A and B are shown apart, each in its own frame.
Chain A
Amino acid sequence: MLYRENGQFKTSYRADLQIFPILQDRWTILALLAFAFLVVPSFASDYYFRAILIPFLIMALAALGVNILVGYCGQISLGSGAFMAVGAYGAYNFFVRIPDMPLVPALILGGLCATAFGIVFGLPSLRVKGLYLAVATLAAQFFADWMFLRIKWLVNDSPSGSVSVNGLQVFGLPIESGVSKYWFCLTVLCIVALLAKNLVRSAIGREWMAIRDMDVAAAVIGIRPVYAKLTAFAVSSFIVGMAGALWAFVYLGAWEPAAFNVDVSFRLLFMVIIGGLGSITGAFFGAAFIVVLPIFLNQFLPFAASLVGLSVSTEAASHAELMIFGALIVWFLIVEPHGLAKLWSTGKQKLRLWPFPH
């Protein structure tokens, strides 16, 4: 009833090409942004910021980057953890080696390091595709793991590769408390999401999607696969690298190479698949799901066991978590292979016609 678009006429191309062509959507997004920026900080406790909200925002950013590569360009990547690591350590090197380096340029430079790394490891995509490429990108993962453990110069000569940063500030404002970190991550996420959304609607985005749907056919109609694939790798690894730098600087503070191991790559891929391939909204849904699920299970499993009079050791709980995680992934893939974003759009479609079924 509320979600009707009749009477909203587009009278210019501008209006027709808006990101949210429906008035209600625009208002919802504005309300959501206002809620996220103004209301959430006023009631969320420090625990929520540190355990849920900040990881969610940063992981959503990373998932956005992975989604550009996997969802829009169809190049399966299992090396996202490596791109995050390169972003993090790249930003770290700029941050500690250049005196008075501000945070934001350091993050961007870290993202650019990841871009270079991503392009190099994206080169095989010109020759191989599909599952071969998935394994080829694992090379990036293992190479990065090794690089930050063994090449001492990159980690400022720390013996185990663990480094830390402190005294973060943006435009003179300190980024120390949960709220300020939250605001900072949210701002970065909003800007990048807006840019990404526009990028995938533009010519280059359509080239990516053409490559994804059928690269030979795309090449036949005049799309350069080399250019399209490498730009997808570049843009994706830039965003993932920024997310890695944020994860290290803002969320962890002190980290070691293991913080970006192959498990991170798998989780990012889960986020993209569960959220929805080829959808910006999907990255948010997926990140929310993967970040919140373990926390929820950690709280819920001991509670559920206590209801039936059992006590669960932490070890058993972590194993049960693995099992439930795995089962849920399989279940999701079977029930909704297009991800949560598809459910969302189905819901919207139903809402349009409500109360009529067709």
Chain B
Amino acid sequence: MAFFLETLIGGLMAGMLYALVALGFVLIFKASGVFNFAQGAMVLFAALAMARFSEWIPQWTGLSNKVLADMAAFVLAGALMFVVAWLVEKLVLRHLVNQEGATLLMATLGIAYFLEGMGQTLFGSSIYKIDIGMPKDPVFILENTFQGGILVNKEDLYAACIAAVLVAALSLFFQKTGTGRALRAVADDHQAAQSIGIPLARIWVIVWCVAGVVALVAGMIWGSKLGVQFSLATVALRALPVVILGGLTSVPGAIIGGLVIGVGEKLSEVYIGPLVGGGIEIWFAYVLALGFLLVRPQGLFGEKIIDRV
């Protein structure tokens, strides 16, 4: 039982991180109908920027305070993501209005390649580490209930908290602010939103900026867990089934989907994995999402797709 719970909690923690990456997908899809394959590259780019800035800033400015340097690096990397978002809108999306979904998808793949190359040219391609002072040691909880207690990684706990705070902040932003309302309007209908005076271009920049910041936070957390390296870009591929399961247009869907996938992956690896040779984490999430789609094509919380001739 204790072992089961331990796996479950591990799954939930991992799921929170998937949800964070999935959130980036959902934000952009919601507001522009673009399925952003570059999200993984953005995570990598942001994490690289963050890792290197936190290394460089003390050298440039002689800043000795670690926390201050980290914060400056975060702000600087965030600013960089803003620039990226602005350029993406200016150079790519603006010219691809009204193209088919496949074309837009390919364009984001192009952006992904570009960002991967760019990030590694600017910041180098070795393995870097981000140290934002998250404690690494595990803790035991519920020691009274179970023999030996349940092992929980403190770092995961912190990461999940950060993710939860970010999600809450985004939900507030979407629900309560004027900009958030405009974003939702654009998501519902580009043309109608434009005709009542919502500037489409600015909305897109804002959305990509927010997605960039989400990528930065995701990159920071994943990076401090796994180290910043090229493979970080593939984290996005792990998060894709999450989006599908939750529904492409739903923020809560991304969270719930993330948790379901995280738990499903860990449990399947532990309980089914040994029967079929292990390593099934890679495809289990996809097959889970696929099976779900057969029952409910729009995902958990996605909007029902109605076709009319």
Given A131-B248, A139-B283, A220-B309, does the pair A124, B113 have CB atoms closer than 8 Å?
no
Given A131-B35, A326-B112, does the pair A273, B106 have CB atoms closer than 8 Å?
yes
- A330 close to B103 (CB less than 8 A): no
How many Å lie between the Cα of A92 and that of B115 in the bound state? 38
B:163-219 near A, CB below 8 Å: none
List 19 contacting pairs A-B, 8 Å CB cutoff, sorted by A.
A123-B294, A127-B297, A135-B243, A135-B286, A145-B283, A319-B125, A320-B117, A320-B121, A322-B116, A323-B113, A323-B114, A326-B112, A328-B110, A329-B109, A329-B110, A329-B113, A330-B91, A330-B111, A334-B95
How many Å lie between the Cα of A116 and that of B15 in the bound state? 33
Task: Give the bracket for the number of chain B residues in contact with chain A.
Answer: 35 or more
Find chain A residues with CB under 8 A from B243 CB: 135
- Residue A34 at the B interface, CB < 8 A? no
- Residue A269 at the B interface, CB < 8 A? yes
- A150 close to B278 (CB less than 8 A): yes
Find chain A residues with CB under 8 A from B110 CB: 325-330, 333
- A319 close to B279 (CB less than 8 A): no
- Residue A303 at the B interface, CB < 8 A? no
Kindly supply a per-residue 1/0 record for chain A positions 179-194, scoring 1 wherever the CB is within 8 Å of any chain B CB and 0 otherwise: 0000000000000000
How many Å lie between the Cα of A332 and that of B49 in the bound state? 29
Kindly supply a per-residue 1/0 record for chain B positions 112-154, scoring 1 wherever the CB is within 8 Å of any chain A CB and 0 otherwise: 1111111011000100000000000000000000000000000
Give the residue among A130, A139, A146, A323 with the most B Cβ atoms within 10 A.
A139
Find chain B residues with CB under 8 A from A330 CB: 91-92, 107, 110-111, 114
- Residue A51 at the B interface, CB < 8 A? no
Find chain A residues with CB under 8 A from B109 CB: 266, 269-270, 326, 329
A:234-292 near B, CB below 8 Å: 262, 266, 269-270, 273, 277
- A142 close to B282 (CB less than 8 A): yes
Find chain B residues with CB under 8 A from A322 CB: 113-114, 116-117, 120
User: Which residue of B is nearest A74, CB measured?
Assistant: B102
- Residue A337 at the B interface, CB < 8 A? yes
Kindly supply a per-residue 1/0 record for chain B positions 226-247, scoring 1 wherever the CB is within 8 Å of any chain A CB and 0 otherwise: 0000000000010011011000
- B289 close to A134 (CB less than 8 A): no
Kindly supply a per-residue 1/0 record for chain A positions 106-145, scoring 1 wherever the CB is within 8 Å of any chain B CB and 0 otherwise: 0000000000000000011001101110111011001101
How many Å lie between the Cα of A184 and that of B172 in the bound state? 63
For chain A, the count of residues having a C-beta within 8 Å of the partner chain is 49
How many Å lie between the Cα of A123 and that of B287 in the bound state? 13
Find chain B residues with CB under 8 A from A337 CB: 96, 99, 103
How many Å lie between the Cα of A334 and that of B111 in the bound state? 13
- Residue B267 at the A interface, CB < 8 A? no
Find chain B residues with CB under 8 A from A149 CB: 279
- A146 close to B99 (CB less than 8 A): no
- B196 CB to closest chain A CB, in angstroms? 27
Which single member of A123, A135, A323, A327 contacts B289 (CB below 8 Å)? A135
B:58-106 near A, CB below 8 Å: 91-92, 95-96, 99, 101-103, 105-106
Which single member of A128, A269, A316 contacts B293 (CB below 8 Å)? A128
- A138 close to B102 (CB less than 8 A): no
- Residue B290 at the A interface, CB < 8 A? yes
User: Which residue of A is nearest B278, CB measured?
Assistant: A150
Given A132-B293, A135-B241, A333-B99, does the pair A150, B277 have CB atoms closer than 8 Å?
yes
Find chain B residues with CB under 8 A from A326 CB: 109-117
Closest 9 CB pairs of A and B: A322-B117, A326-B113, A326-B114, A329-B110, A139-B286, A323-B117, A330-B110, A142-B283, A150-B277
How many Å lie between the Cα of A270 and that of B108 in the bound state? 12
- A334 close to B289 (CB less than 8 A): no
- Residue A151 at the B interface, CB < 8 A? yes
- A131 close to B237 (CB less than 8 A): no
A:55-70 near B, CB below 8 Å: 70
- Residue A216 at the B interface, CB < 8 A? yes
- Residue A217 at the B interface, CB < 8 A? yes
- A334 close to B101 (CB less than 8 A): no
How many Å lie between the Cα of A327 and that of B279 in the bound state? 35
- Residue B1 at the A interface, CB < 8 A? no
